[in-house]
Amino acid sequence: MPVLMELSRIIISEINENQVIYLKETDGNRQFPILIGIFEATSIHRRVRGETSPRPLTHDLIVSVIENLGAELQDVVISELRDHTYYAKLRVRHDGELIEIDARPSDAIAVAVTCRPTLPIYVNEEVLNDVLGEQND
């Protein structure tokens, strides 16, 4: 069963290659970090702060293409943790059909915060168990 999460923190470092976002359980205390690239971190940070760009950025383009094709972005699911790599699905509804699109979690979350209203972000319970188990080892 997927667990509703929210973006709770974005850490952008100019001296490190990897940036960090934290997802926190909406109705609980569990949280975990995901390492992401600078472009995705900056895009997420700008959207959370309500900043816009004069021209569409990649995540704006994704949202625009999906909407202009008559589909509706539904949510994001971080579906797997395999070999220390997270896997996500961007879920889109088109003509009543649910389409799951493979995505990096950072891109999926950037799309989620680009949408208005922001898309729900879910994490599979197994992923939470795996990551929280790894943190406690």
d(CA 130, CA 15): 29
What pLDDT, on the 0 to 100 scale, is given for residue 40? 92
CA nearest to 115, candidates 67, 54, 55: 67
pLDDT at 63 over 80: yes
- Amino acid at position 7, single letter: L
The pLDDT score that the predictor gives to residue 31 is 96
Stretch 57-85: mean pLDDT: 96
Q: What is the mean pLDDT of residues 32-46?
A: 94
